[in-house]
Amino acid sequence: MSTLDRTWWHKQWRHLRLWRRFFAQAVVRETHFRAHFLTTLLVGLVQLGLGIVPTLLLFGFTSEVHGWSRAEVIALVGVFQIVTGLLATFLAPNLNRMTTYLTEGELDGVLLRPVSSQFYLTLRWINVAELTNVASGIVVLVIGLVQADITFGAGQVVQAVVLVACGLVLLTAVWSAMSFLAFWLQSVNPIGFVFLNLMEAGRYPLVFFPVAVRTFLTFAFPVAFATTFPVRALAGDLGWGPVALGVALAVVAQGLVRLVWRRGLLTYSSASS
């Protein structure tokens, strides 16, 4: 292994250890605010229930819509809950602070740290309580799969997991790029609301939308990779082509968002100077 390779791996390991410290600190904070944990759990359950109600109402009049059964859509709602729970746990607490970092000079201190500033600003804060939504989503997913009588093999599970991972990376890239616009717009607080509203489309199968909207939800705002595609993979209706496409898009998206971040830093002037 070359010196360059060893340096790269050492850097990645250092970032991993730092993230583990972030997580440990988040757990400690959560033990001091137990009411927040319970409130997050209750709110998450209410949101999950509100997500299932439209499905029950829709399938009260029919047994199938565009090839999707009620049980499969319930499984999709479970996957959606998992994905939004992970985003709320690891991403939202950080990107919602982006305006504060830039307008109050907090970015200055981050830039002095011996770690990637993009890594630090994207993953520093963790809302552990939101993991309860991930757990409830897993329960709903299992219930939906059992009701749909879907049997799947290891290959289908791998496809689904990779697709969810790619979907999370893609959505993270989109939200990060939108938040990094703060370098030019100063305030991007409304952008978080726009992102979350667009995320609501992930509650429903892609085929429920017109062709133009499907294209948008696959390539421009790729929530389909995080919700619809994984469920279709578990049902055995998806090949490896979409998986390869998801991986390729995730790699490209990370490269592009990195460019946006670096370009933003070039335009940044300290708010504390």
CA proximity to 129, closest of 193, 77, 94, 85: 85
Please tell me the predicted confidence (pLDDT) of residue 83. 96
**CA angle 16–19–20, rounded 5-degree value:** 90
Q: Does residue 164 contact residue 226 with C-beta atoms inside 8 Å?
A: yes
pTM of this structure = 0.90
Please tell me the predicted confidence (pLDDT) of residue 183. 83
Residue 71 and residue 92: Cα distance in Å, rounded? 30
Please tell me the predicted confidence (pLDDT) of residue 162. 97
Q: How many residues does the chain have?
A: 273
Residue 14 and residue 114: Cα distance in Å, rounded? 10
Q: Running along the chain, 273 residues long, what does each successive block of 10 average in pLDDT?
A: 63 84 87 77 82 83 87 94 94 87 79 86 89 92 92 91 96 92 78 88 94 95 96 91 96 95 84 53
Match 């070039």 to its residue by tokens.
Answer: 266
3-state secondary structure of 112: coil
Please tell me the predicted confidence (pLDDT) of residue 5. 58
Please tell me the predicted confidence (pLDDT) of residue 244. 96
Please tell me the predicted confidence (pLDDT) of residue 152. 84
Please tell me the predicted confidence (pLDDT) of residue 8. 61
Please tell me the predicted confidence (pLDDT) of residue 271. 55
3-state secondary structure of 64: strand
